[in-house]
Amino acid sequence: MTARFAFLYGLLLWLVATNVLAGTTIRVGVLAYRGTGEELSNWENLPAQLAAAIPGHTFEVRSLAGPALHEAVQAGELEFVITNSSQYVALAAEFGIQRIATVMLPEALSSKESLGSVVLTLAGRDDLKQLTDLRGKRIATMAPDAFGGYLVAARELLRAGVDLEAGDARLLFVGFPMRQAIEAISSGKADAAIIRTCLFEQLAARGMLRAADYKVVAPWQHAGFPCAASTPLYPDWPVAATRGVDRQLAKDVAMALLSLPPSPTGLTWDVPADYQPVSDLYREMMLGPYADLRTSTFQGVLKNHRLFLLAIFLLLVGGIIHVVRVEYLVRRRTTELRAAQTQARDLQRKTEHMARLSILGEMSGTLAHELNQPLTTIAAYAQGMERRCANGQPDPALITETLREIFAQTERAAGVIRRVRNFAGKRAAAREVRPIAATVREAIHLLTTLMPDLPPVVMDDQLPSGTTALADHLQLQQVLLNLMKNAAESMRELPRFRRTINVSLYRADSNLIIAVADRGPTVPAEMLAQLFEPFFTTKFDGLGLGLAICKSIIEAHGGRLQVEHRDPPPGLVFHFNLPDTRNAR
């Protein structure tokens, strides 16, 4: 079994192990590929991760061959399916299954550019340079339904005018494992071999062949892709939810997959890729869901259905018109959808920016006060120095000390302006890995600058020194400023000695948790669920957008923003989680 299939097998073992004691059985069908794989040992920590992520479910894995997997989906016996790109497209067209994540190979350029085909021949074959040179030659390949090992290359050959199905070349199907196709070249049974990308490099790295003995036919350049290729790149295996699966369950499974750290071989899950290129391949080759586009040869139709030729011709024209119309509508809808998504992202960024400006507007008075102090000090020192110079009493040491104080106050005012400008600046989201504790301290310092009457903020950092998070740290500071500002406002009616804001940083399972707690009045339980709804507010002059924006920011980082009553009461605790970057190493 290749590294990809071993990764999927380990993932499925994880799903079973983490849910054996749960109540609801969720059935997962996986495409059983030919061959056996090595046992994995790098998923031992996954049971606890899934139990924490999706409590209350048991996952049952069914290893099924292609036809059996199709029948199980048709009979409604599965909730989730893990299969190759080609079968996914067929099942999606026939049964409406929906992808929720895509496997990422370590060498992949992106989730949609992961694998393709490479055509190999012996290094000394100077007669085989382009795909058109393969006409009439013997080509070894794995199987007619192998995606990277046959179909992708077959499409490119068809585009070059070499129709493998029509017999333009002699095909030798060698079966599994795929390396037998290369061995067919070495033994002289074939002139060329079609294999999936990166298998050639993997076999060479293991010493199972000499790379210098072979060459690539019609090499295709992919910037940044570490393996040879003769075709474009396509998305890899997806996991898909079958029709009727609970949306929350599908979302939980997707979030659990996306939060998995890379396997020892570097395999990860990514957001679902666009499988339109795979669908285009099948439509172009008239396979799978587009098999109905196939027709008999003109000679066969003319010989056997002469009387119906005109009717078939009219049906064919109608079918072509229908396909063109559907294609046009799909492309138009896709363009409109992409434009709407771009507009939504722009609106989100503008809303976040306006929220930051709103915070600064509410605190403009305190900001002016904060700047006025160093300016007043500078003026006082300058006037005093002017009087001493006018009285003829210049003291070099005193002048030096005064200038140092003026410079220090200037730096203080510049620091206030710099922090405010950085916070208020409008810019695109930018994620980086940096210590999370530093981000929290900067937020506290900025809010202290903007709100001199801010209650004491007690920071309890339980994380190891230097713990980092991959995030847009300015957005995280915006969330913290909102939460701490709300906490301060909720305690305005309390005596000053009872006002305290507690900020805690700790780790829970594979996540970093940041919590902001106050001692404000008790909030009814039925109101807690409404706090994150847009335009819901308990303030007289509030807009009700602050917490809604905070929630969207945290969810964009793959986390959740939640609130609960403080124990012991009174007060509330807002807390959100972030992925721990140490799991991504």
Per-residue pLDDT of 320-356, as tens digits, reads 988 888 888 888 888 888 887 777 667 666 666 666 5
**Mean predicted confidence (pLDDT) in 551-563:** 87
Task: Report residue 538's pLDDT band, with 50, 70 and 90 as the boundaries.
Answer: low
Q: How far is CA 458 from CA 177, 188, 396, 436, 501, in A?
A: 61, 76, 44, 16, 6
Per-residue pLDDT of 257-316, as tens digits, reads 888 777 666 778 888 888 888 888 888 888 877 777 766 444 334 434 445 566 777 788
CATH of domain 117-216: 3.40.190.10
Which one is the CATH code of 430-584: 3.40.109.40, 3.40.50.2300, 3.30.565.10, 3.30.2420.10? 3.30.565.10
Whole-number percent of the chain with pLDDT over 90: 24
Written as one string, the DSSP assignment of 128-152 is --SGGGGTT-EEEES-TT-IIIIIH
Per-residue pLDDT of 484-511, as tens digits, reads 988 888 888 888 888 899 999 999 888 8
Alpha carbon distance 122, 193 (integer Å): 10
- Domain boundaries defined on the chain: 3-111+235-285, 117-216, 295-353, 363-426, 430-584
Question: Residue ranges of the alpha helices (H) in 18-54?
Answer: 46-53
Highest mean pLDDT among 40-49, 107-116, 530-539: 107-116
Please name the helix (run of DSSP H) or strand (run of DSSP E) that holds residue 563, with its range, or none.
strand 561-565
Of 163, 137, 155, residue with least CA distance to 85: 155
Pairwise pLDDT comparison (402 vs 212), residue with the higher score: 212
Strand partners, 125: none
Average pLDDT, the chain: 79
Written as one string, the DSSP assignment of 374-426 is HHHHHHHHHHHHHHHHHTT---HHHHHHHHHHHHHHHHHHHHHHHHHHHHH--
Three-class SS string for 86-119? Answer: HHHHHHHHHHCCEEEEEEECCCCCECCECECEEE
The whole-model pTM stands at 0.47
Of 467, 448, 470, residue with least CA distance to 457: 448
Per-residue pLDDT of 131-154, as tens digits, reads 999 999 999 998 888 888 899 999
CATH of domain 3-111+235-285: 3.40.190.180
Whether residue 35 is predicted with pLDDT greater than 50 in this model: the reply is no
**Mean predicted confidence (pLDDT) in 569-578:** 91
Do the domains at 3-111+235-285 and 117-216 have one common CATH topology? yes
Whether residue 163 is predicted with pLDDT greater than 50 in this model: the reply is yes
Alpha carbon distance 281, 284 (integer Å): 5
Alpha carbon distance 52, 46 (integer Å): 10
Three-class SS string for 201-241? Answer: HHHHHCCCCCHHHEEECCCCCCCCCCCCCCCCCECCCEEEE
Whether residue 122 is predicted with pLDDT greater than 60 in this model: the reply is yes
Contacts of residue 398, defined as CB under 8 A and 6 or more positions apart, other chains included, come to: 388
Task: Report residue 370's pLDDT band, with 50, 70 and 90 as the boundaries.
Answer: low
